Amino acid sequence: MKNITTPISDEAIRDLKVGDSVALSGMMVTGRDAAHKWMIETFIKKTRPPQDDDLQVYEELKKLLKGSVIYHCGPVVTGLDTKDYKFIAAGPTTSIREEPYQADVMKHFNVKGVIGKGGMGPKTLKGCEETPGVYFHAIGGAASFLAQTVVKVHGVFKMDFGVPEAMWVIEVKDFPVVVTMDSHGGSQHAVIDESSKKVLDDLLTR
């Protein structure tokens, strides 16, 4: 297993290949549908004007995401009233919903890793080659275990999206993932899709 700490260099990303097991440590930011749509519309395509503190949040995110990781996660969080936040469940959510946005977000913010489950498509794979970056597959069904790797919740942005969709700034220690899409065009998900299609085609022609 490779131990990698954010921020991650281009050299470290290029060294990763599909199938590598990685223990991630350092800072990362959670982000799901609402967050990705907001980033694209407000700061990348600029189809909607910034609201309230959007520009301040943008400046903070540029610093936090540079060389770092976005985690597709809708956590269960305690301490909402006191702001003494603690993750008690932090499992990955299905990543393909972010396929329209992910590559553009990676390039704009220089994000080096995306964590989720289920993999992503060709647009994100191309983004991994160009940024460069990788897709890390996390363990589904292990939300409480993964929450134990979160050593500190440093803060949260866009709480108006709701707790699962907000952008939580977390520090992790030895977060276990596997590289399933790399910066060299490799995608385990594409391989599985192709092999599954061949099996299906064979069954349908019998």
DSSP SS3 for 125: helix
pLDDT at 206 over 90: no
pTM of the model: 0.91
CB 174 within 8 A of CB 23: yes
pLDDT at 188: 87
Partners of 170 in the beta sheet?
Answer: 28, 153
Query: Of 3.20.130.10, 3.30.470.20, 3.40.50.2300, 3.40.50.720, which CATH number belongs to 2-204?
Result: 3.20.130.10
Task: Calculate mean pLDDT across residues 131-138.
Answer: 98
| β pairing state of 167-181 and 134-137 | antiparallel
- Please report how the helices 102-109 and 54-65 are oriented relative to each other, as an axis angle in degrees rounded to 10: 80
Q: Where are the domains of the chain?
A: 2-204
Catalytic annotation, residues: 36
Return the residue matching tokens 């919903």: 97
Which residue would you say has higher pLDDT here, 198 or 19?
19
DSSP letters, 2-71, are: EEEESSPPHHHHHH--TT-EEEEEEEEEE--HHHHHHHIIIIIS--S---TTHHHHHHHHHHHHTT-EEE
